[in-house]
């Protein structure tokens, strides 16, 4: 079994899990974003094949930096191929089924995507997977992610009233690693339950030790990985969790209980903290990693327009209850105020920079004082300049098309240190 750790962004990343977009992302373009959960600007003739090439470039950059990459799409595909019990035995069998579904969905929802474009992209994406992992595995993973077959390898009925056209492999949200434990989640939208089930198949195949979070108290209790950030400031380790649109108080409690043996308010261990914000209307800022990140020792980038509206508290247990306590040195108790009190170097970005994925970066330390920062794309030169000043090196990923489906570099990955 393989143990996972993630104490600090100043520690080096040894391994990363990721999964490229494929036919499931394309099928989701045939339905409205409120159903598919993709961004609104992903609709129209956006090329998933080009996004796939962005992803492959990102994977290559990570590997060049000496990071081991686990391609979870391929790992899960091999597991699914072994249990396959369905009638789709050729590329054409699956392609015909997906085209029938795409035509039905386009007629139903009138999305601005042509059927000819769908066929062209489906063929290219299927061929990419066939070349990479072989025919049987490629059919299995694409059929499963588009809900043509289930995790058991058997056919699934297409439900026109509830058409989840695709369950995408979005690694950050299915899990988190804080301290020495990995937690696996129940996410906010039930359509993503299957995404977590796919993730478990991959974790089991890798021999990863993980813990299913104990989310008692109803189906509305949820937790998503983008809401969880480790930080190390002034030699003190922090574990931050956001509570807003996608992570509930029940999720916070389950997270606290999983890691409680490593938590400490005295400073001897990880200090757990909660960042709380609005519970609706935050699609572009729903997770902590979409508006704040530590990028180097003592250096944090954040969007003050958002962090000034989020409350910051330390979590602790008193008389058996998990409670929130505002730090004594904070007057207003905002996340922005805490950042200003802890960091030596701060970049307060504009909302425009935040929306352009400026804080959505991946950070790997060198075990001492330096960091390598993987930047999503080059649309925020002032933020990049700040990072270059404080980090040891910067790697530009050029994730232009990929952001429309998977968000930024942090969203699209899940790291082990």
328-387 per-position pLDDT tens digit: 999 999 999 999 999 999 999 999 999 999 999 999 998 767 999 999 999 999 999 999
Question: Tens of pLDDT along 81-120?
Answer: 999 898 999 999 999 999 999 999 999 999 999 999 999 9
Higher pLDDT among residues 21 and 219, named by residue: 21
Name the token pair of 80. 């699914």
Nearest Cα residue to 356 out of 381, 373, 329, 331: 381
Give the model's confidence band at 165: pLDDT under 50 very low, under 70 low, under 90 confident, else very high: confident
pLDDT tens-place string over residues 45-62: 689 999 999 999 999 999
pLDDT grade for 42, boundaries at 50, 70 and 90: low
| Band of pLDDT at residue 306, cut at 50, 70 and 90 | very high
Q: Tell me the average pLDDT across 146-174.
A: 86
- Judged on CB neighbours under 10 Å (0-12, 13-18, 19+), 3 is exposed
Between 12-16, 27-31, 38-42, 303-307, the lowest mean confidence (pLDDT) is in 38-42
**Long-range contacts made by residues 102-107, C-beta under 8 angstroms, separation at least 24?**
102/27, 102/30, 104/160, 105/27, 105/30, 105/31, 105/163, 105/165, 106/30
Position 200 scores a pLDDT of 96
Q: Is the pLDDT of residue 43 over 80?
A: no
What whole-number distance in Å separates Cα of residue 38 and Cα of residue 302? 24
What is the average per-residue pLDDT within 294-320? 97
Per the model's pLDDT, the better-predicted residue between 407 and 208 turns out to be: 208
Q: Region 7-18: what's the mean pLDDT?
A: 96
Confidence of residue 326 (pLDDT cuts 50, 70, 90): very high
Q: Give the 3-state DSSP-derived string for 54-120, with helices as H, strands as E and coil as C.
A: HHHHHHHHHHHCCCEEEEHHHHHHHHHHHCCCCCCCCHHHHHHHHHHHHHHHHHHHCCCCCHHHHHH
List domains and CATH numbers for the chain.
Answer: 21-145 (no CATH), 171-416 (3.75.10.10)
Q: By percentage, how much of the chain surpasses pLDDT 70?
A: 97
Mean pLDDT of the chain: 93
For residue 292, give Cα distances in angstroms to 235, 261, 262, 366.
19, 26, 24, 21
Give the side-chain half-sphere CA count within 13 A for 34. 2
pLDDT band for position 397 (cuts 50, 70, 90): very high
Model pLDDT, residue 36: 83
Q: What pLDDT does 3 receive?
A: 82
């Amino acid at each position: 079994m393989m143990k996972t750790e993630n104490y600090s962004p100043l520690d080096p990343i040894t391994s990363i899990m990721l999964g490229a977009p494929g036919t499931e992302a394309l099928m989701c373009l045939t339905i409205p974003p409120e159903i598919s959960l993709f961004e609104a600007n992903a609709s129209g003739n956006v090329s998933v094949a080009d996004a796939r090439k962005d992803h492959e470039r990102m994977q290559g950059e990570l590997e060049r930096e000496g990071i081991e990459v686990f391609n979870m799409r391929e790992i899960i595909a091999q597991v699914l191929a072994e249990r396959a019990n369905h009638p789709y035995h050729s590329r054409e069998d699956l392609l015909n089924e997906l085209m029938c579904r795409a035509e039905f969905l386009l007629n139903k929802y009138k999305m601005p995507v042509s059927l000819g474009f769908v066929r062209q992209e489906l063929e290219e994406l299927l061929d990419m997977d066939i070349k990479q992992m072989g025919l049987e595995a490629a059919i299995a993973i694409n059929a499963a992610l588009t809900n043509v077959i289930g995790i058991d390898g058997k056919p699934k009925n297409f439900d026109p009233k509830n058409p989840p056209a695709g369950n995408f492999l979005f690694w950050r949200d299915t899990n988190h690693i804080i301290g020495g434990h990995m937690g696996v989640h129940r996410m906010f939208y039930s359509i993503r339950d299957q995404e977590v089930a796919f993730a478990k198949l991959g974790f089991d195949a890798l021999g990863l030790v993980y813990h299913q979070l104990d989310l008692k108290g109803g189906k509305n209790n949820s937790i998503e990985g983008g809401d969880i950030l480790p930080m190390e400031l002034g030699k003190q380790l922090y574990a931050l969790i956001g509570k807003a649109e996608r992570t509930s108080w029940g999720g916070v409690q389950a997270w606290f209980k999983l890691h409680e043996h490593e938590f400490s308010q005295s400073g001897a261990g990880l200090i757990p903290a909660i960042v709380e914000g609005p519970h609706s209307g935050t699609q572009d800022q729903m997770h902590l990693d979409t508006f704040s990140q530590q990028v180097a020792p003592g250096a944090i980038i954040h969007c003050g327009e958002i962090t000034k509206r989020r409350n910051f508290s330390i979590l602790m247990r008193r008389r058996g209850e998990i409670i929130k306590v505002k730090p004594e040195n904070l007057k207003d108790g905002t996340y922005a105020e805490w950042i200003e009190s802890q960091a030596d170097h701060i970049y307060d970005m504009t909302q425009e920079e935040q929306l352009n994925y400026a804080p959505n970066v991946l950070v790997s330390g060198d075990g001492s004082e330096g960091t390598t920062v993987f930047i999503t794309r080059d649309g925020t030169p002032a933020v990049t300049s700040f990072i270059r000043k404080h980090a040891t090196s910067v790697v530009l990923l050029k994730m232009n098309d990929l952001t429309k489906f998977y968000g930024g570099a942090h969203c699209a990955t899940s790291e082990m240190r």
